[in-house]
A and B are shown apart, each in its own frame.
Chain A
Amino acid sequence: MLFNSLQFALFFIALTGLHFSLPHRFRWVVMLAASYYFYMCWSVGYILLLVISSLITWYSGLKIAQATDRQKRKFFLIVSLSLNLGALLFFKYFNFFISSIFEISAKFNLLAAIDAPLIKIMLPVGISFYTFQTVSYIIDVYKGKIEPEAHFGIFSLYVAFWPRIVAGPIERAGRLIPQFKQVVSFDYKRATDGFRLILWGMIKKVVIADYLAIYVNQVFDNCQDYTGVPVITASIFFTVQIYCDFSGYSDMAIGTAKVMGYELTENFNRPYFSSSLREFWQRWHISLSTWFRDYVYIPLGGNRVIKLRFYYNLLITFLVSGLWHGANWTFVIWGGLHGIYLVVENIFEEIWGRISTNSTIGFKNLENSRLSTYFRVAITLFLVNYAWIFFRANTVSDAFEITKRLFIFGGKNPDSPVIAPSAFVLSLFFIVSLFAIEFKEQKIKIEHYVASLPITVRWSIYTLGLWAVIISTIFGVKQEFIYFQF
């Protein structure tokens, strides 16, 4: 059930009505049933996996809190982590690891005659997202940061909460569970804010991302046919596409939860206006980057270690983050590239810091100038854009081929353009509009700005937005949400 479908609209309206008409004590039941129904619309069989994962984590959490000796606490922590992460590893990475081992072995003439024993299995929807929630919960309970949840129903709702089950945001128990217990009544402002966010998310996904995807797919899926400008254009379009696709989904998830009185974590904060890679990762997929910070990077030692170890920690964190995105070497390289970027950025900042401190020619002023900020934003965007090529390419060799072809000008591209000139102009219009809106969001969020306008203007904007979505849905090419595959 996609957020941009009629089926979802009916589901959401009915659920919201039921949610607010029921006494608070029954709401969790309805929300849990709705969450399981929503999940089963994607995959019926794997609901059992979701329930088992919830049960194991909930039981382990209680046992950890009850246990007095350290060994017992550790035992339940390990049980929960290994079962949850084991399921994730099995479903998501088994084939990847096996085929990688066989490919490497074949290069050394080992196992050449044997076919890799791959399993035909579908990846359970949202497994990467809900597993990270169960992992963060059990670690937080183990560390004593939160109390374990005694109510199995409420805990199951935390794991399966429908607006975020498929593609996040990855919520922390300490933030979400108390909201399920809080009595909320219908709030007009919150509901309209939520609907505005849903509409904005839909525009980003259905109107912009799906439209750009036509060009992107054509070039990336036939990269051997294109050189120079079409390849550069496709890489820029993908940079915008993935942002609109994923942040659009997040906005819809946050918006739907908001209408019903729940606040989810903001997942994106104008990431392409970041002036450094570090800042980019504080603004992109925030719920995932903070998860990796808290449960991988800091346990590894973070930056409170010797320099080399710090760089190693950065690299490891980003390699794992890359692998989390998908069982493909393209994602690992994408993660690795970001790790390298951050290491280089840190080294550069250190050198620059020394130079500017010792200089007498006003490096500090230059650093703080607007021009310098624009330059850093452009460099960051360029590096992020390049890394996305690995994320989008179908194979590692395709990614390197595309890299090579970025610099081949005057090569022979197919006679017919990738898309019609008018469609190309429309794509550019979408991109410029998006950046203009996000630029304005420096001062005020788009939904708050629209809310401040007179009703006639406001309703005209809503109507235009809604029709842009309807027309794109009917006449456009429907694309899956990119992050659903993870």
Chain B
Amino acid sequence: MRQSKRFILKLAAFALLNLAIMVSLLLFFSGKNRDIRFKNWETESNLLVIREDEVYDVAILGTSRGRVFSRDSNHLTVESILQKRVVNLSKGGGGGLMPAKVHLSHFYRRGNRANQILYFVDPWIFFCPINNENNTFFLRDEPFEISILLDLILNRFPSERIISYIQMIAVDDWKSISQYAAPGLDKLTLKAIDPVKLEEAREHYLGLYDYSKFDHYSSFVSDINRLTKQHNSKITYIMLPILMENFPGAKEVDEKLKKIIENDLTSQNLRDKNSVNYHNLIDKMQDRQFFYDHMHFNNYGVAHFTKTYLIPILDNPTSVQF
């Protein structure tokens, strides 16, 4: 008994010593690159864009379909049409509910504010682990911040994600890693829709779907609502147009979102502020000229959508009808 006590004490002391070393090292490396600044249209990174104590009119969350609102200088077009200051926290190749919560938390933690949040939700982010905890993209080009690491741990991201994020400590060439901002969207217009390819895309998504995760991922909607309420932002979920009929999971997501929002408005006491809204625009703008593939807007589509839908939504998110 005495031997085991002695052993446990020494082991605990050794563990504490190394924990202290670990925390010191992480703190040392955290925020090393905060001074490096990029504009939303210069990089796909969010942390290199998020500043401190800034006030925005609009913050965008989403996947690559939200990211196109900044790519190829679309960001400036959107800001000019809306006449508002916009920050885009979407993530190409990812942007699921779990990553969105991490980025939004960090945005607020840095003392920033946004009057309105637009979350361009896609059906697959409610079903696909690859867009959520298994997403390898959303921290691939982000500098190391200890608060993000804590978010990952608290939100139960898998250890591979946590390790891959710590690996960013060793990355310092943000200039080259942040180059990608998909230029040339103005030249892209979808010529025709190949039904075979469309069917392949549908199969592809269905192959990635894990229906058992639907409720788990949906619960992050309430988390995000709570977060926006705490920081006095209004949030509007928008299902963006897509050139595919009966997209897998779209109906379920539509129903679920309505239900969650209804429930949150009551349980989180949000009704008075009209702070959570939802618009399903999946079957709007079904013209190929707005897209460069079956789901991504080209520059023309971004401008048209902003004018036609975002202006009225931002002006009157609750009662606007399309």
Q: Which A residues fall within an 8 A CB radius of B?
A: 5-7, 20, 186-188, 191-192, 459, 462-463, 466-467, 470, 473-475
Residues of B within 8 A of A462 (CB): 14
Q: Which one of B18, B21, B159 lies within 8 Å of A6 (CB-CB)?
A: B159
Q: Would you mind naming 18 contact pairs between A and B with Cβ atoms under 8 Å apart?
A: A5-B159, A7-B159, A20-B4, A186-B4, A186-B7, A187-B3, A188-B3, A188-B4, A188-B6, A188-B7, A191-B7, A192-B7, A459-B14, A459-B17, A463-B17, A467-B21, A474-B163, A474-B166
Any A CB within 8 A of the CB of B170: yes
Q: Which one of A7, A20, A463 lies within 8 Å of B21 (CB-CB)?
A: A463
Residues of A within 8 A of B3 (CB): 186-188
Residues of A within 8 A of B268 (CB): none
Report the bound CA distance from A187 to B6 in whole Å: 10
Give B16 Cβ to nearest chain A Cβ, in Å.
Answer: 12
* A463-B18 in contact given A188-B3, A475-B167, A475-B170 (Cβ < 8 Å): yes
Residues of B within 8 A of A5 (CB): 159
Residues of A within 8 A of B6 (CB): 188
Within 8 A of A (CB), among B3-32: 3-4, 6-7, 14, 17-18, 21-22
| Interface residues on chain B, size class | 10 to 19
Residues of A within 8 A of B21 (CB): 463, 467
The 3 closest A-B pairs by CB, nearest first: A188-B3, A186-B4, A188-B7
Report the bound CA distance from A459 to B17 in whole Å: 10
Residues of B within 8 A of A475 (CB): 167, 170
Residues of B within 8 A of A463 (CB): 14, 17-18, 21
Residues of A within 8 A of B18 (CB): 463, 466-467
Nearest chain-B residue to A259 (Cβ)?
Answer: B7
Report the bound CA distance from A241 to B309 in whole Å: 61
- A interface footprint on B164-180 (CB within 8 Å = 1, 0 otherwise): 00110010000000000
Give A465 Cβ to nearest chain B Cβ, in Å.
Answer: 11
17 more contacts with CB within 8 A, not counting A188-B7, A462-B14, are A5-B159, A6-B159, A20-B4, A186-B3, A186-B4, A186-B7, A188-B3, A188-B4, A188-B6, A191-B7, A459-B14, A463-B18, A463-B21, A473-B163, A474-B166, A474-B167, A475-B170
Give A466 Cβ to nearest chain B Cβ, in Å.
Answer: 6
Residues of B within 8 A of A466 (CB): 18
Residues of B within 8 A of A459 (CB): 14, 17
Report the bound CA distance from A473 to B167 in whole Å: 10
Report the bound CA distance from A192 to B170 in whole Å: 34
Report the bound CA distance from A424 to B159 in whole Å: 29
Report the bound CA distance from A190 to B127 in whole Å: 50
Report the bound CA distance from A482 to B18 in whole Å: 30
Report the bound CA distance from A194 to B237 in whole Å: 56
Report the bound CA distance from A462 to B7 in whole Å: 15
Residues of B within 8 A of A7 (CB): 159
Report the bound CA distance from A463 to B14 in whole Å: 8
Report the bound CA distance from A467 to B25 in whole Å: 11
Residues of B within 8 A of A467 (CB): 18, 21
Residues of B within 8 A of A188 (CB): 3-4, 6-7
Give A32 Cβ to nearest chain B Cβ, in Å.
Answer: 23
Give A437 Cβ to nearest chain B Cβ, in Å.
Answer: 22
Report the bound CA distance from A358 to B163 in whole Å: 67
Residues of B within 8 A of A474 (CB): 163, 166-167
Report the bound CA distance from A459 to B15 in whole Å: 11
Nearest chain-B residue to A195 (Cβ)?
Answer: B11
Report the bound CA distance from A7 to B163 in whole Å: 14
Give A468 Cβ to nearest chain B Cβ, in Å.
Answer: 12
Report the bound CA distance from A462 to B11 in whole Å: 12
Give A4 Cβ to nearest chain B Cβ, in Å.
Answer: 12
Report the bound CA distance from A187 to B170 in whole Å: 42
Residues of B within 8 A of A192 (CB): 7
Give A460 Cβ to nearest chain B Cβ, in Å.
Answer: 10
Report the bound CA distance from A44 to B6 in whole Å: 38
Report the bound CA distance from A454 to B21 in whole Å: 21
